[in-house]
Amino acid sequence: MINRPEIRDGKPYPPGTLDRLEILPDVPAALARLAAAGFRLVVVTNQPDIARGRQRRDVVESMHARLAEALPIDAFRVCGHDDRDGCRCRKPKPGLLEDDALEYDLDLSASFMVGDRWRDIDAGRAAGCRTVFVDWGYDERRPDKPDATVRSLGEAADWILSHTRRARDDDNRSTEGQDLR
């Protein structure tokens, strides 16, 4: 949902080469707004084609480097395993989210996981994050009960920022009139 996927048989796949990497139009502005609001922006991605021998890790790293040059992304967390590897980092398991939270002392209950696949939403929920599903209409399993469903990263940023402001406003109202020594 940061870059345009290649759709085959109704299912999304990452671009196979660096020259096919295309950032979606609303992504730069959406990420800039989230970064300006103080969010740590982390890409958490399954890349099973590395384990399957269909993609080289250096190609994935080159794509991430290009994205990092163009976008305000703080980090990339990559699982290069396949389901059969049984690792703790492959979404829907929350390992990559938990690792980032531990390294940067983040409160996952105050964090948001945005994704376009059920695995993203399940990983976010398992980590204790609020979840935003970007519905691209893929022909695959849909996530169960995300906190919000939107059509783009721009809409996801709108939802996150409105819910963050609302929580701050509620906190401010709860302290109005109190002596805060």
**Where are the chain's structural domains?**
6-175
pLDDT band at 125 (very low <50, low <70, confident <90, very high): very high
The stretch 85-110 carries a mean pLDDT of 96
* Nearest one of 98, 93, 91 to 117, comparing CA atoms: 91
Give me the pLDDT at residue 167, please.
Answer: 55
Spatial CB neighbours of 75, under 8 Å, sequence gap ≥ 6: 40, 41, 42, 43, 100
pLDDT band at 171 (very low <50, low <70, confident <90, very high): low
Radius of gyration (C-alpha) of the chain in whole angstroms: 17
Q: What is the DSSP string of 68-93?
A: HHHS---EEEEE---GGG--SSSTTS
Share of the chain above pLDDT 70, in %: 91
**Cα–Cα distance measured from residue 90 to residue 68, given in angstroms and rounded to the nearest whole number:** 22
- Helix/strand/coil for 12: strand
∠ CA 66-42-155, rounded to 5°? 95
Asked if pLDDT for residue 169 goes beyond 80, the answer is no
Give me the pLDDT at residue 160, please.
Answer: 98
Cβ–Cβ < 8 Å for 2, 24: yes
Pick 6-175's CATH classification: 3.40.47.10, 3.40.718.10, 3.40.50.1000, 3.40.50.1110: 3.40.50.1000
Asked if pLDDT for residue 96 goes beyond 70, the answer is yes
This prediction has a pTM of 0.90
pLDDT mean across residues, the chain: 92
